[in-house]
Amino acid sequence: MTSRLDAIFKGRTVLCDGAMGTSLYARGVFINRCYDELNLSQPELVRSVHEDYLHAGAEIIETNTFGANSLRLQRYGLADRVAEINEAGVRLAREAVRQFAEKQAATAFVAGSVGPLGVHLEPLGKTGLDEAREAFAGQIRALAAGGLGVGADLLIIETMPALNEAEQAVLAARMAAPDLPVAVMVTVDEDGNCLDGASAETAATRIGSWGVDALGCNCSVGPATVLTAIERMAAATNLPLMAMPNAGMPRSVEGRNIYLCSPEYMASFARKFIRAGVQYVGGCCGTTPQHIKAMKSALRAVGAQAASHGGGAKDAIVTETPPAPLQERSRIGRLIHEGEFVTMVEIVPPRGVDCAKELRGAQELAGVGVHAINVPDSPRASARMSAQSLCIQIQQKTGIETVLHYTCRDRNVLSIQSDLLGASSIGLRNILCLTGDPPKLGNYPDATAVYDVDAIGLVNIVHRLNHGLDIGGNPIGASTGFTIAVAANPGVPDIDHEIRRFAWKVEGGAEYAITQPVFDLRILEVFLKRIEGFRIPVVAGIWPLTSLRNAEFMKNDLRVSVPDEILIRMAGASTPELARAEGIRIAQEMLAAARTMVQGAQVSAPFGRYSAAVEVLSAVLPGQPDANARPTQPAKPSQEAGVGQL
């Protein structure tokens, strides 16, 4: 069967919105209110929810009409206002879409939301099938007509607890709005079965026989259960699949029902839904615009195009152009592939247009055998020369290879792809994928942050470009051929969260990692143990401290784990020169201790003291005397300040 939705969406993956009721509740609407009636009494409130979801990336928004049938409205004395409430619901959604299109030059669609009647049908209840069908038809007629003479683009019959009720809703739709595409979603229990006992397979088979355009599962007890039900449905139907789970089970917190699934957790399941063949992804109770934004990033990152017969992203691989082997892409790629110990030094771009000092530093480092220069991308959200510009100047004028730090803070997915294609075309071969510091940390705290994707999504984008595909799965010709690095922070307080994100980065295509500065070997050991199941080569970040204040900044501002004994050692240095010398000794000790555990070291050069970085690396650089065997000479003082970023 050909789905009429294909005429609208061409078989591609589509992101729907999240919960309307959750957002209204968060805006202070009491739970005992008739939320559908807000279309009439508080239209701006409802429209604002639609706008939030559109800006989060939703391409389909549902009308605020989930309970706007005569049987539910009767409880509030509103049974005679079915048409008025539903038409207003369509009008508000349509206005939000139109305004969004005018401002963003983007298209979105309005789905008329049709929820269950809230009563048992015969033979379990006293409501007849014909009564149910007429109640649904009254609502659907109004959704199809719309308040502006333009009705909904499609109907979503959702959260159906029983197949006999779902069937009456579909029959009503065929009677009241025969030209509208119809999607049907059931809700399931913890075992993945409909609430009337029908299995997911039975539900898919029966719903498919009614001539609908898509089917699936929503609400329920959370994304894991919905995924299980969807996988079972996929085996029984060729129709497009739709998944919109709750953000987990609600928990009562200080008298409020709170859904505890994080946006990242929901985003991880968005990827799993796509792999299971789902074409329409969204959220139900507990999901917010933040959840939808995270899901949008996940969908963009994997470039999913799940089609009605299980194609999409899998089909796109046919036209890919795989990159060269890692060892052929860059010097860093070859060193990592061959298991050699990699040495890198960070050079921060200048705040102005003159990069002569940075180029001299790169030349000095190349001369002593450092393998590559890391160039941060506006660290601490500061306005500096572009990292890409400095990288290409370093490579062209000194011959040493660079690793471009690339952040998502300032770029949407269009500029990300443009930048990366340009970087590849001018000979940059190594990318470190970062989310980026928020603008509030820098000199321009009111600057707009973009964050279309985070570091995980960026890894997926680079990986796809490396296979000759853009994020939509369209061929771009030759592979970009980057080596893909990611950051890791072994000392972050929420290490479980860090490990999950690291695993997703590896899953997305990361080929090696660079850590935040290491001052506590025990934490590094624990981190390496935790990632054994998805280990990639790890380059340890090494930072030669310059003062006690610098150490305290690392610990308190950057959330880097700095043990008390390190602070005590830095506090014991009586002069700035002795403090810098002590910082170099500590860095040398960290490098010596970590050397057998990792595949390389990335040394920062605080305040542009490149000679200090050479001293730290002396034990692993060719032709350099081992600084651990002689007293460390204090570095010359400098007035320049800067902090590198991983």
Q: How far apart are CA 358 and CA 390, in angstroms?
A: 8
- Window from 284-288, 417-421, 556-560 with minimum mean pLDDT: 556-560
Query: Is the Cα torsion angle 374, 377, 383, 389 positive or negative in sign?
Result: positive
pLDDT at 638 over 70: no
Q: How far apart are CA 571 and CA 582, in angstroms?
A: 10
pLDDT at 618 over 70: yes
pLDDT of 258 reads 53
pLDDT of 444 reads 77
For 527-553, what is each residue's pLDDT tens digit? 999 999 999 999 999 999 999 999 998
pLDDT of 457 reads 84
CB atoms within 10 A of CB 447: 14
> What single-letter DSSP state applies at residue 404?
E
β-strand partners of 350: none
β-strand partners of 342: 600
The answer to whether 600 and 333 have CB atoms below 8 angstroms apart is no
| Banded model confidence at residue 472, pLDDT cuts 50, 70, 90 | low
Q: How far apart are CA 305 and CA 13, in angstroms?
A: 5
pLDDT at 636 over 60: no
pLDDT of 289 reads 94
pLDDT of 588 reads 96
For 364-399, what is each residue's pLDDT tens digit? 999 999 999 999 998 877 889 999 999 999 999 999
Q: Please give the average per-residue pLDDT across 10-36, as a whole number.
A: 91
Nearest of 481, 524, 532, 525 to residue 506 by alpha carbon? 532
What does residue 108 show for φ and ψ, rounded to 5 degrees? -140, 165
For 292-345, what is each residue's pLDDT tens digit? 999 998 887 666 333 323 344 433 333 578 899 999 999 999 999 999 999 999
**CB-hemisphere CA count at 13 Å for 98?**
8
6-313 and 326-629, same CATH topology: yes
CB atoms within 10 A of CB 100: 20
Q: Please give the average per-residue pLDDT across 1-19, as a whole number.
A: 85
Q: Please give the average per-residue pLDDT across 340-364, as a whole number.
A: 96
Class level of CATH domain 326-629? alpha beta
Q: Which residue has the tokens 């399931």?
A: 188
Strands (E), 310-450: 342-346, 372-375, 401-407, 430-434
Mean pLDDT score across all residues of the chain = 88
Q: Which two tokens stand for residue 142?
A: 């109004």
Helix (H, G, I), strand (E, B) or coil at 469: strand
| Banded model confidence at residue 236, pLDDT cuts 50, 70, 90 | very high
- Window from 402-411, 472-481, 515-524 with minimum mean pLDDT: 472-481
Q: Please give the average per-residue pLDDT across 277-281, as a whole number.
A: 95
The answer to whether 434 and 377 have CB atoms below 8 angstroms apart is yes
pLDDT of 421 reads 96
Using left for φ > 0, alpha for ψ between -120 and 50, and beta otherwise, residue 389 falls in alpha
Q: Please give the average per-residue pLDDT across 492-514, as a whole number.
A: 92
- Window from 25-34, 179-188, 228-237, 400-409 with minimum mean pLDDT: 25-34
- Sequence-distant contacts of 554-563: CB under 8 A, at least 24 apart: 554/517, 554/519, 558/516, 558/643, 559/489, 559/491, 559/492, 559/493, 560/489, 560/491, 560/516, 560/517, 560/519, 561/490, 561/491, 561/519, 561/520, 561/523, 562/519, 562/520, 563/519, 563/520
Question: How open is the CA angle 150-155-159, to the nearest 5 degrees?
Answer: 145
| Banded model confidence at residue 446, pLDDT cuts 50, 70, 90 | confident
Q: Are strands 241-245 and 250-253 parallel, antiparallel or unpaired?
A: unpaired
Using left for φ > 0, alpha for ψ between -120 and 50, and beta otherwise, residue 57 falls in left
The answer to whether 90 and 134 have CB atoms below 8 angstroms apart is no
Q: How far is CA 342 from CA 271, 393, 544, 586, 602, in A?
A: 34, 22, 18, 20, 8
Strands (E), 12-104: 14-15, 60-62
Q: How far is CA 310 from CA 218, 244, 377, in A?
A: 20, 18, 40
Q: How far apart are CA 77 and CA 73, in angstroms?
A: 6
Q: How much of the chain exceeds pLDDT 90, in percent? A: 69
pLDDT at 232 over 50: yes
Q: Are strands 278-281 and 342-346 parallel, antiparallel or unpaired?
A: unpaired
Q: Is the peptide bond before 123 cis (omega within 30 degrees of 0)?
A: yes
Q: How much of the chain exceeds pLDDT 70, in percent? A: 90
Q: How far apart are CA 621 and CA 13, in angstroms?
A: 50
pLDDT of 644 reads 33
pLDDT of 250 reads 55
Question: Which amino acid is it at 164?
Answer: N
Q: How far apart are CA 382 and CA 444, in angstroms?
A: 8
Q: Are strands 538-542 and 600-603 parallel, antiparallel or unpaired?
A: parallel
Q: Which two tokens stand for residue 565?
A: 């004994």
Q: Please give the average per-residue pLDDT across 51-66, as a whole number.
A: 96
pLDDT of 557 reads 77
Q: Which two tokens stand for residue 224?
A: 């894991």
The answer to whether 63 and 38 have CB atoms below 8 angstroms apart is no
For 201-213, what is each residue's pLDDT tens digit? 999 999 999 999 9
pLDDT of 314 reads 38
* 184-204 per-residue burial string, b: 16 or more CB within 10 A, e: under 16: bbbbbeeebbbbbebbbbbbb
Q: How far apart are CA 345 and CA 181, in angstroms?
A: 58
Question: Which amino acid is it at 488?
Answer: A
CB atoms within 10 A of CB 589: 15
Q: What are the residue ranges spanned by the domains of the chain?
A: 6-313, 326-629
Third-level CATH fold of 6-313: TIM Barrel (3.20.20)
| Banded model confidence at residue 453, pLDDT cuts 50, 70, 90 | confident
pLDDT of 626 reads 53
